[in-house]
Structure 1
Amino acid sequence: MPLSLPTETPPPPSAFWDSPWRARVALPLVAVLLMLLLLWLWRPWLLLPGTQPLVMGGGDPYLRALMRTISASESNVLRPYHVVYGGEYVGTLERHPNRCEAIGQGPNRGNCSTAAGRYQLLYSTWLELAARYHPQRTGDALDATGLSFAPVYQDAVVHAWLQEGRWGNVSAQLRQGRVQPVLRRLSGTWTSLGYGIENNSMSRELPKVYQRLLQEELQAAGEPADDTKTKGRAAGAARP
């Protein structure tokens, strides 16, 4: 009877992490890739914190996207509802802060501004608008001085203001893809929108910012994506 020769058991395949030098190289690489992925996912918040979603629920998605676009240039900070002119934050929003902060540059240098909140509303403007649109308003316009400046009320008041006839039909213009004419019309109030006296680094980017935010708002509202811009380009290309 033939003798069976002993067989050698093949060594198990070496795991990738068994090599110390591989682990030393791979672990930092994985960490860097993970951080880059997180930065990519969170880039809108990191680069444009002022475009964060509104606190107010409901409303016209086209106006909501416009409001977020306005704050991209007026209050592009981590806490836009709490910021006052100059970049400082206030701790409470029980009332409009009404802090007159010195203006250090631009055509209004030497004056001061009471602009505050996500939409940088002057105290006088806030009193006027709150008396008309604040959900807690009373019949006495003087009571507006005591109305809450909380984020949801900042949103509600400005959303109602943008529906005033003084602006034309803003929602209809936006639905027609006329973003730049709307920004031009509003730049008399919000001077950083690209056609005012105090443009900033965001002004030229606002039409593109608006388009991105609009898609987010339409998706959140369960409405079909807006293709006005695409249709406009196609129609232009079809012209002789």
Structure 2
Amino acid sequence: MTKTDSKKTLPKPDTLEQSVGSWLVRSLILLAIVIFIGHMQGKQPSLRWFDSAERGSDAPLVMQGGDPYIRALMRTISASESNVRNPYSVLYGGDRIQDLSTHPDRCITIVNGPNMGNCTTAAGRYQFITTTWQAQAKRYHPAPGGFLFWQDYSFEPQYQDEVVYRWLSDSSAWGADIRQLLKRGQVNAVLKMLSGTWTSLGYGIEDNSMSDELPKIYQKVLQQELQSR
């Protein structure tokens, strides 16, 4: 029987680069876990409800400050888009959402009008559909959340207001200075300009019982906004 030598291969000691790399990987994993836990805690249903007995344009904005002409326009939009109590939590059709930590993205069947039979994700005071909310929140949301490369945007009342306010105030988004048009009394021109986005404003395809009253409503809430400054 031939005797053979059995040599065990000893493990090579870790190099400095390997040690540092391993430490970085563990640190990044730990950081990711901490961020994820924090994000999920922020996803708990929002209990900071806006509660108002007023409907639509009569309901005050949650956002504080800002130009009174733009604020009055925002309230006017809600007169035709969400003429209910507590408009920030309403879905198309009248159902309510409890969790305002993000856009609900719930597609509800349209029951009348030219789009009957389709579904819409319209939600909140300004009846944002999901794609419009994501696009405009990406540009105007003051406090975006998210994880690494994924972005999320709170749909709480304050942020619904702030996104719309910044959007309406951005002349590059509309090709016109809406505030100056309103100051010159051209509310009908502004409503027509916006009717492609909010189709209930009197020049779109989905007018409702409030559409013809919007210029008067605007003047009423404008006086309120000017007096409250």
TM-score for the superposition, normalised by structure 2: 0.73
1:132 shift after superposition? 1.1
**Pairing 1:188-199 to 2, within 5 Å after superposition:** 188-199=196-207
Task: Measure the CA separation in 2 of the matches of 1:181 and 1:78.
Answer: 28
Which segment is superposed worse, 164-173 or 181-190? 164-173
**Pairing 1:36-55 to 2, within 5 Å after superposition:** 49-51=55-57, 52-55=59-62
Question: Structure 1: which amino acid aligns with 2:72?
Answer: A
8 Å CA contact retained: 1:131, 1:138:
no
Question: Structure 1: which amino acid aligns with 2:164?
Answer: V
8 Å CA contact retained: 2:81, 2:125:
yes
- Which of residues 144, 154, 163 is equivalent to 1:137? 144
* 2:162 maps to 1:152: no
1:68 corresponds to: 75
Task: Measure the CA separation in 1 of the matches of 2:146 and 2:181.
Answer: 33
1:9 corresponds to: none
1:211 corresponds to: 219
1:25 corresponds to: none
1:84 corresponds to: 91
2:104 corresponds to: 97
Question: Structure 2: which amino acid aligns with 1:93?
Answer: L
1:140 shift after superposition? 8.8
Question: Structure 1: which amino acid aligns with 2:98?
Answer: G
Runs of 4+ in 1 over 4 A off after TM superposition: 138-142
Of Structure 1 and Structure 2, which has the larger fraction of its residues in helix?
A: 1
Q: RMSD of the alignment, in Å?
A: 1.9
1:136 shift after superposition? 1.0
TM-score for the superposition, normalised by structure 1: 0.69
Question: CA separation of 1:142/1:203 partners in 2, compared to 1, >3 Å: closer, same or farther?
Answer: farther
Task: Measure the CA separation in 2 of the matches of 1:141 and 1:185.
Answer: 37
* 2:130 maps to 1:123: yes
8 Å CA contact retained: 1:131, 1:141:
no
Question: CA separation of 1:63/1:143 partners in 2, compared to 1, >3 Å: closer, same or farther?
Answer: farther
Relative contact order higher in (CA < 8 Å, ≥ 6 apart) = 2
1:185 corresponds to: 193
1:141 shift after superposition? 10
Task: Measure the CA separation in 1 of the matches of 2:149 and 2:113.
Answer: 33
- Secondary structure of residue in 2 paired with 1:162: helix
Which segment is superposed worse, 146-155 or 131-140? 131-140
Identity %: 58
Question: CA separation of 1:208/1:113 partners in 2, compared to 1, >3 Å: closer, same or farther?
Answer: same
Task: Measure the CA separation in 2 of the matches of 1:206 and 1:130.
Answer: 26
Question: CA separation of 1:81/1:141 partners in 2, compared to 1, >3 Å: closer, same or farther?
Answer: farther
**Deviation digits for residues 134-156 of structure 1, max 9, x if unmatched?**
11126999644x22100000000
8 Å CA contact retained: 2:145, 2:154:
no
Question: CA separation of 1:180/1:128 partners in 2, compared to 1, >3 Å: closer, same or farther?
Answer: same
8 Å CA contact retained: 1:70, 1:119:
yes
1:173 corresponds to: 181
Task: Measure the CA separation in 1 of the matches of 2:153 and 2:209.
Answer: 34
8 Å CA contact retained: 1:100, 1:112:
yes
- Which of residues 55, 61, 65 is equivalent to 1:58? 65
